[in-house]
Structure 1
Amino acid sequence: MNIGDADSPTSLFDSYEQDFQILIQGIKAKLDGEGLSAHGGVRLAEQHKSSLRKVELELDEADDVLSQLQLTLQSIPKSLRSPYVSRLNASKAELTKSKNRSRELHAAVSRTQLLGGPKFGASSDDPYGERSERQRLLAGTETLSDGNRRLLDSQRIALETEEQGADTLRALRQQREQIENSRNTLNSADTSIDRASGTLKKMIRQMYRQRVVLSIITFVLIAVVIFILWFKLVRRR
């Protein structure tokens, strides 16, 4: 393998490392430019957020380049790999340091937005700045108190909702009992109707039998009367 070849793993490693250094230097410049001022103030939070978003994108890009360095390192012969491993570890350390610095600035921006930090260039012994800080603390305390009041209101509403839910469950339970009682009553009524229907059927069958018996008796009586009349007429002759 020709080490000086532009397509060799070592040349690719050098190229990726150069790209990484360009990215990391730009990231460091942005992070140092968005840090704390000499008077202890913090620049405008919105400018911080915009710059830090750009830094996050560049950190992701640097992370991708670092991944390419790791992949390229696997293609370098083991006999030549040792110095490249050291260079890769140094690059990792630089990236980790920049990520930590970015997280610190994110936290500073969050604190600034929460407390409404002093404007850029304000002196720490400025009485107006101290008064403004006290006002911001009072405002923060009032905001916390308002949040507590809202939390208590939410708890009260939750308790009222729970009580209403319990009342609704009790009402539903009573309605269920009433429905079950009505169903039992209907079942009893159905049983009574079935019994009454059976009784009526028996009475109807008995009535039909009585009619048949009466019909037979009537027929027999008529036959007897006819026989008697015929017998008398025959004897007269």
Structure 2
Amino acid sequence: MEQTPTALFTSYEQDFRHILAGIKEKLEATGHGEQRKAVLRKVEIELDEADDIVSALEVEIQGIPQSIKSQYASRLKQAKADLTQFKKLAKDVHAQQSRADLLRKGGGTSDDPYGERSDRERLLAGSQILEDGSRRLRDTQRIALEAEDQGADILRTLRGQRETIEGARDTLQRADTNIDRASGTINKMIRQMYKQRVILSAMTAFIILLVITILYFKLVR
């Protein structure tokens, strides 16, 4: 039989509360070493499961009728707040465990010459780290200076290219001006040629007409 959205919501919510109870029990338990780390890894897995359930609750609440939806929305809001609180608690426990592991690893003292690391060894390690940091800083400064020199060379090259482009542009502008002048001169010559052609045509027509008139008078009279 198909369950209603409210029934599914309640079922998911019960699973969620059960998981949170298990997480709380694990976080409050005592332990150390690999056993404690295994418990914390289990907590991370269960927190992911709880996160998935909250996503399922967000889906199911969409199908709940508006008349009762507000109370389920409040329960969903509370579930999200509880999950956030447990995530923060788990993070704090992880941090405490990490600090405890570091303290155990660095627990050698001057009274224990056979400890994992003596004070002298830690001092030498610190000096080595400082020296490595200084060397990296010098390398970084050298790379920065080289990059600055390369940048200056690039700027000089770009400046020369810009001057060349500007010179070529000026040359093109002068050539364009000369072409315009030449075009104007050619247009004037063409107009003059047409004008002379019209005059020549008119003179030819006049001469032909004059010859015809003379022939007419001579032949007819």
| TM-score in same-fold range (> 0.5) | yes
User: Cα RMSD (Å) of the superposition?
Assistant: 4.9
Structure 1 residue 177 corresponds to structure 2 residue 170: yes
**Letter matched to residue 16 of structure 2:** Y
| Structure 1 residues 183-226: Cα deviation after superposition (integer angstroms, max 9, x where no partner) | 221111111111000001111222222222333344445556x4
Structure 1 residue 186 corresponds to structure 2 residue 182: no
Report the counterpart of residue 144 of structure 2 in structure 1: 151
Report the counterpart of residue 161 of structure 1 in structure 2: 154
How big is the shift at 1:140? Answer: 2.0
| Structure 1 residues 41-70: Cα deviation after superposition (integer angstroms, max 9, x where no partner) | xxxxxxxxxxx9998776555544566789
212-221 vs 184-193, greater mean Cα deviation: 212-221
Q: For residues 95 and 25 of structure 1, do their structure 2 counterparts lie closer, same or farther at Cα, with a shift above 3 Å needed? A: farther
How big is the shift at 1:142? Answer: 0.9
CA distance, structure 1, for counterparts of residue 142 and residue 48 of structure 2: 42
Q: Which sections of structure 2, spanning at least 5 residues, go unmatched?
A: 1-6, 35-39, 61-67, 107-114
| Structure 1 residues 74-121: Cα deviation after superposition (integer angstroms, max 9, x where no partner) | x8x97xx99xx6x98666433213335667999x9xxxxxxxx9xx56
Q: Paired residue for 2:202, among 189, 209, 213?
A: 209
Report the counterpart of residue 99 of structure 1 in structure 2: 91
Q: For residues 193 and 25 of structure 1, do their structure 2 counterparts lie closer, same or farther at Cα, with a shift above 3 Å needed? A: farther
Query: Which structure exhibits the higher relative contact order, with contacts defined as CA atoms closer than 8 Å and separated by 6 or more residues?
Result: 1
Q: Paired residue for 2:134, among 132, 141, 146?
A: 141
**Letter matched to residue 97 of structure 1:** L
- Give yes or no for contact 1:16–1:65 (8 Å, CA) kept in 2: yes
CA distance, structure 1, for counterparts of residue 41 and residue 146 of structure 2: 38
- Give yes or no for contact 1:27–1:98 (8 Å, CA) kept in 2: yes
- Give yes or no for contact 2:20–2:50 (8 Å, CA) kept in 1: yes
185-194 vs 125-134, greater mean Cα deviation: 125-134
Q: For residues 90 and 123 of structure 1, do their structure 2 counterparts lie closer, same or farther at Cα, with a shift above 3 Å needed? A: farther
Q: For residues 88 and 16 of structure 1, do their structure 2 counterparts lie closer, same or farther at Cα, with a shift above 3 Å needed? A: same
Q: Which sections of structure 1, spanning at least 5 residues, go unmatched?
A: 1-6, 35-51, 109-116, 232-237
Larger Rg: 1
Taking every aligned residue pair, what percent have the same amino acid on both sides? 18
CA distance, structure 2, for counterparts of residue 135 and residue 153 of structure 1: 27
When the two structures are superposed, what TM-score results if normalisation uses the length of structure 2? 0.57
Equivalent pairs, count: 187
Report the counterpart of residue 131 of structure 1 in structure 2: 124
Report the counterpart of residue 19 of structure 2 in structure 1: 19
